[in-house]
């Protein structure tokens, strides 16, 4: 099973695919991800020796059959960014690989500016302890800030 804050060396050294996002109805959001499988690319030639040598080692990354649903039953905010434009500053601190938990992030810093979430006079966060989760996919970066732990379940087969 996968978990936030862990690094998985048994998985391919490539980020998962985002298969589906669902947020209709109640205040929940779920993400279905699949780690890639590698497929051989049919041999081809472009007529350039150096390019052909590179293409000879190429593999295609495709979503694997093993999929996981990550469910946030409540959230303060979530943000899906194109990974090409996502910036992560050196002052941000996180633990984990493709599923990370941020100890410090720009999003946590601005949370009181863009929501009603605040640090109360007694030092306690409202509406509870905020936690920033990151899901790093091949084309997407997903950020979720919530006060409640997500649940992850393995789905059987591809859907």
Q: Which residue has the higher pLDDT, 40 or 67?
A: 67
As a whole number, mean pLDDT of residues 28-57 equals 84
pLDDT band at 81 (very low <50, low <70, confident <90, very high): very high
pLDDT given at position 134: 96
pLDDT given at position 13: 61
Q: How far apart are CA 14 and CA 67, in angstroms?
A: 15
DSSP string, 63-125: EEEEEEEEEESS-SEEEEEETTT----TT-EEESSSEEEEEE-HHHHHHHHHSS-EE-TTS-E
Q: What is the tens place of the pLDDT at every residue in 84-108?
A: 998 878 899 999 989 999 999 999 9
pTM of the model: 0.85
């Amino acid at each position: 099973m996968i978990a936030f804050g862990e690094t998985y060396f048994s998985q391919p050294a490539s980020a998962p695919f985002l298969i589906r996002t669902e947020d209709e109805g109640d205040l929940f959001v779920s993400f279905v991800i699949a780690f890639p499988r590698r497929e051989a690319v049919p041999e081809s030639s472009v007529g350039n020796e150096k390019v052909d040598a590179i293409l000879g080692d190429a593999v295609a990354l495709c979503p694997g059959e093993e999929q996981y649903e990550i469910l946030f039953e409540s959230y303060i905010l979530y943000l899906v960014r194109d990974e090409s434009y996502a910036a992560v500053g050196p002052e941000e601190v996180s633990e984990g690989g493709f599923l990370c938990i941020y100890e410090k992030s720009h999003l946590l810093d601005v949370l009181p500016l863009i929501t009603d979430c605040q640090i109360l006079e007694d030092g306690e966060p409202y509406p509870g302890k905020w936690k920033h989760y990151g899901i790093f996919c091949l084309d997407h970066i997903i950020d979720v800030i919530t006060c409640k732990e997500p649940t992850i379940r393995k789905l059987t087969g591809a859907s």
